[in-house]
Amino acid sequence: MNQPLLAWSRELALDQSTMDDTHREFVDLLNRVAASSEDDLLASLDEFVKHTEEHFGQEERWMEEFAFPPLHCHQGEHANVLEVIREVRKRVADGQVQLGATLTQALAEWFPQHAGSMDAVLAMYMKQIGYVPGGDNTAAIAAAAAAMAEQAAPGCAPGADACGHTAPAENR
């Protein structure tokens, strides 16, 4: 088999098992889109869009649950990326198949940055408050609320660069 566009590596792992499983799937599906023939491109893009909606939605639900201050920043970046993927999917359906390669190349560069910054900060915070996806998180949510009440909200600081120029206008 040819070399994948983006290889899974230790550097991509965040030591948060649910997130890491989802991210492995993201990498697999991205590689599948990149390796698709023109005939398969649309189907693999559809699968990739579906995964990405769930992947981003999952992180956003966690952040909402414990009222994580960088939520809007992180969500804004997800929204921009999804918009680009959906637009490319539409154009590929209209015959611009060469855009598939442009998209996968850009995402192979974007993903390690996003995982290493916004997702890493999220994973670290989840560990800190003891939040376990799918578990009983009553204590973790209370711990997060107490920590927030005690200190000034960090806001978008961890992903400020990405937020500053990519968040959609409605995110004030």
Q: What is the dihedral of CA 104, 161, 83, 59, to 10 degrees?
A: 90
Find the shortest distance in angstroms from Cβ 72 to Fe ion: 13
Q: State which residue, 38 or 161, has the beta carbon closest to Fe ion.
A: 161
DSSP count for the chain of H helices, then E strands? 7, 0
Min dist CB 148 to Fe ion, Å, is 20
The nearer residue to Fe ion, 37 or 165, going by C-beta atoms, is 165
The answer to whether the beta carbons of residues 69 and 154 sit under 8 Å apart is yes
Question: How far is it, in rounded angstroms, from Cα 122 to Cα 115?
Answer: 10
Q: How far is the CB of 97 from Fe ion (least distance, A)?
A: 27
Nearer CB in complex with Fe ion: 92/104: 104
Q: How many CA atoms lie within 13 A of 63 on its CB side?
A: 25
| Site residues (vs Fe ion, CB under 5 A) | 59, 119
CB 38 to Fe ion: min, Å: 29
Nearer to Fe ion, 92 or 126 (CB): 126
